[in-house]
Amino acid sequence: MTVQIALLRAVNVGGRSLPMAELRAGAAELGLAQVRSVLQSGNLVFESPSLAGAELEAALEAKVKERFGLAADVLVRNAAEWETILAANPFAEAAESDPAHLAVMSLKGAPAPAAVERLSAAIAGRETLRSHGRELYIVYPDGIGTSKLSGAVIERALSLRGTARNWNTALKLAAAARG
């Protein structure tokens, strides 16, 4: 069985409440094993005997819709991919000195380089970002919550859906996936 990490987009924010115990139960109904949640922001780590990638994302999205009535994007990376994502971080200094202001945003696909360049050029604040595969790494030196470089702005610019986790959460997910 392959260890997988699922990131749910926009749950337990803005009034969209999704109890983690019920989310774990819904994932188990799909045949996923050793399902555990990490924090309260829609993060699951589990073992999957057969489902992976886009098929697993679709199954989890359908389960969330069926069980909770919520349309929520789910992004899945396996444990090895997550380790590669951590290793590819171009902002090692920020990861050490200010991990709460460094985010990794997982996307449904790899963004077009021209779209990333346009997005970078349009940043009005002190934020910086880099793209690697299906992930964006973003440093928010003045804080994530007050930044104009929101997830919605990024998604519009890249024409891709995604969800971000700060570096501390990214590390917790890796630790959970390692067991």
Quick: pLDDT tens for 10-28. 775 566 678 889 999 999 9
What is the per-residue pLDDT across 134-148, written as a single tens digit (0 to 9) for each? Answer: 999 999 999 998 999
Report pLDDT digits (tens) over 80-94: 999 999 999 999 999
Place of tokens 């699951």: 44
pLDDT attached to residue 16: 66
User: By the 8 A CB rule, do 64 and 70 touch?
Assistant: yes
* Whole-number pLDDT of residue 138: 98
pLDDT in the model for residue 39: 87
**pTM to 2 decimals?**
0.93
- Give the Cα separation of 93 and 34 in Å (integer): 34
Say what the pLDDT of residue 13 is: 58
User: What is the third-level CATH fold of 82-178?
Assistant: Alpha-Beta Plaits (3.30.70)
CATH 3.30.70.1280 residue window(s) in the chain? 2-78
Three-state secondary structure call for residue 3? strand
**Record: fold of 2-78:** Alpha-Beta Plaits (3.30.70)
SS3 48: strand
Helix axes 79-87, 167-178, angle to 10 degrees: 140
